[in-house]
């Protein structure tokens, strides 16, 4: 465990450096909070320029998980694992077995699952070393597998609520600009097309962008130029920090609602959105579907329980927006206040997965 630079509003409980020369493992596990239960959050595999950038990203993501899990009313704290993508060829199963051993050493303090750059097969390699993992193939009618479809479903339901409040309509004919066509962004596009929305998409992989454009009659724009798109909804579904001061000034959308974590570069950028009359649906409120699925798998809930909790995403967003209106707060400030109240009110208690 090491000290790390303060890049979050509240410091993490601990930061654990992961290094294993034989497998190429290089990363960290950040336990931001275990007050509500084990620190839960996915494992991200990405290439970082230096260790400080990796740690900073992990700390921000872990704090976001604390708030996300609290707002989704899960008996879990917040954590995150971030691993540096090795250069060149590497033995993926060996890497994730080494990561699994690191998770095991935390003795249930951290529960991992898929995130950007990782998949079900990676979590199966982790499961060979520890029980404290989810995102495994479904068994016995329980939740399981890739949680990204649940994330997409929650974002879609939240977007319906935001459009109803801001535009007074449903999604039919509404122009939505989706930035990022990974598992979640692509699934979201399918749901939006089925609801009658008109799509604009941006994705650095030309083949993926072309496939989505053909399937859903979408217009293609560049990753940066999509910020200037004439649309009602901007849906960031790639990496975080996309909305800084310059981006907020350029936006033509009336709503921001997407699957990416840490969409705002700074809290002040959320204030700038509010000043411009752009409704911001706080990211960790709307993108919690995946962690709800992970929680259900780990804690032994039924598939129906997971579905019911994900389907309440729009209601949770509505409650945040109502609180923001009552208190005169920007939505991200209102969500933070509600999440902090839930965290402070929690009585710490260990939670273990079902057998």
- So which residues are the catalytic ones? 80
Max CA separation in the chain (angstroms): 57
Residue labelled with tokens 């708030």: 67
Q: How far apart are CA 171 and CA 346, in angstroms?
A: 37
- Calpha distance 85→187 (Å, rounded): 25
Rounded-to-integer distance, Cα 339 and Cα 101, Å? 32
Report d(CA 10, CA 340) in Å as an integer: 11
For CA atoms 162, 167, 170, 172, give the dihedral sign: negative
Structure tokens at 284: 């960790």
Is there a contact between 291 and 68 (Cβ–Cβ < 8 Å)? yes
- Counted residue by residue, the chain has a size of 355
Task: Identify the burial level of 102 via C-beta atoms within 10 angstroms of its C-beta, where 0-12 means exposed, 13-18 middle and 19 or more buried.
Answer: buried
Residue among 246, 329, 331, 216 nearest 280 (CA): 331
Beta bridge partners of 84: 46
Q: Nearest CA to 116 among 58, 156, 63, 168?
A: 58
CA distance 171 to 162: 10
Cα–Cα distance between 238 and 8 in angstroms, integer?
21
Residue 56 vs residues 109, 131, 283, 306, 336: alpha-carbon distances, Å: 21, 27, 19, 31, 20
Tokens 């003795």 belong to which residue?
Answer: 107
């Amino acid at each position: 465990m090491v000290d790390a630079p303060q890049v979050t509003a509240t410091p993490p409980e601990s930061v654990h450096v992961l290094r294993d020369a034989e497998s190429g493992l290089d990363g960290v596990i950040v336990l931001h909070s275990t007050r509500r239960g084990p620190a839960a959050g996915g494992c991200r595999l990405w290439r970082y320029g230096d260790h400080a950038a990796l740690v900073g990203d992990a700390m921000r993501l872990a704090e976001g998980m604390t708030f996300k899990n609290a707002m989704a009313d899960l008996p879990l704290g917040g954590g995150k694992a971030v691993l540096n993508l090795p250069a060149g060829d590497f033995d993926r199963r060996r890497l994730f077995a080494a990561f699994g051993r690191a998770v095991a050493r935390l003795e249930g303090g951290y529960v991992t699952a898929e995130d950007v750059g990782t998949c079900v097969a990676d979590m199966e390699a982790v499961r060979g070393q520890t029980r404290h993992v989810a995102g495994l193939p479904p068994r016995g009618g329980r939740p399981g597998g890739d949680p990204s479809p649940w994330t997409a479903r929650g974002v879609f339901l939240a977007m319906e609520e935001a459009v109803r409040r801001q535009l007074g309509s449903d999604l039919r004919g509404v122009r939505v600009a989706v930035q990022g066509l990974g598992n979640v962004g692509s699934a979201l596009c399918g749901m939006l097309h089925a609801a009658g929305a008109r799509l604009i998409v941006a994705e650095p992989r030309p083949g993926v962008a072309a496939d989505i454009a053909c399937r859903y009659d979408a217009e293609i724009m560049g990753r940066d130029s999509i910020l200037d798109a004439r649309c009602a909804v901007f849906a960031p579904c790639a990496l975080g920090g996309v909305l800084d001061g310059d981006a907020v000034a350029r936006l033509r959308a009336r709503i921001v609602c997407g699957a990416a974590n840490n969409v705002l570069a700074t809290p002040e950028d959320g204030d700038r959105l509010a000043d411009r009359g752009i409704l911001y649906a706080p990211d960790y409120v709307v993108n919690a579907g995946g962690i709800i699925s992970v929680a259900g798998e780990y804690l032994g809930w039924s598939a129906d329980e997971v579905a019911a909790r994900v389907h309440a995403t729009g209601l949770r967003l509505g409650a945040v927006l109502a609180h923001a209106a009552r208190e005169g707060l920007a939505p991200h400030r209102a969500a933070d206040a509600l999440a902090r109240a839930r965290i402070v009110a929690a009585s710490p208690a260990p939670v273990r997965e079902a057998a």
